[in-house]
């Protein structure tokens, strides 16, 4: 396995990309919740309402995950800045390791979110 070398500029750049992606997710969740509001006014069927409740819950859960991801990015940025201000040119191994782990976490979340969106769009096609 090839050893990954990370520098603070690259990590910071990746953080900015992730923040943009997360901001997009937040906007999408607002739109999705608006769609659910439309459905609630159109349907009285208990099965459809149960599915609406399921998606509302999933969007709340994903919103919480988004907040956690943003907090983790900010903590990582703070630690990088502290290291930089301390005159340390090379990032410590632990900081790099955390970044790689977070990158994997972002990839996993992308996959989970993509599946949720796919399922939600199929639901909308059926009932909207």
Q: What is the DSSP string of 11-74?
A: HHHHHHHHHHHHHHHHHHHHHHHHHHHHHHHH---HHHHHHHHHHHHHHHHHHHHHHHHHHHHH
- Asked if pLDDT for residue 1 goes beyond 50, the answer is no
Q: Which pLDDT value is given to residue 128? A: 84
Q: How confident is the model at residue 80 (pLDDT cuts 50, 70, 90)?
A: confident
Percent with pLDDT over 90 in the chain: 74
Q: Which pLDDT value is given to residue 4? A: 54
Candidates 19, 21, 36, 11; CA nearest to 98 is 11
Across residues 77-105, what is the average pLDDT? Answer: 81
Across residues 110-126, what is the average pLDDT? Answer: 97
From the number of C-beta atoms within 10 Å of its C-beta (0-12, 13-18, 19+), residue 103 rates as middle
């Amino acid at each position: 396995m090839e050893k990954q070398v990370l520098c603070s500029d690259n990590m910071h750049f990746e953080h900015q990309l992730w923040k943009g992606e997360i901001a997009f997710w937040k906007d999408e969740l607002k739109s999705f919740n608006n769609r659910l509001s439309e459905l609630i006014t159109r349907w009285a069927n208990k099965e459809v309402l149960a599915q609406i409740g399921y998606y509302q819950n999933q969007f709340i859960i994903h919103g919480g995950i988004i907040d956690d991801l943003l907090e983790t990015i900010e903590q990582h940025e703070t630690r990088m800045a502290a290291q930089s201000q301390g005159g340390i040119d090379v990032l410590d191994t632990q900081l790099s390791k955390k970044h790689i782990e977070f990158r994997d976490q972002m990839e996993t979340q992308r996959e989970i979110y993509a599946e949720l969106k796919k399922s939600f769009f199929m639901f909308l096609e059926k009932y909207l």
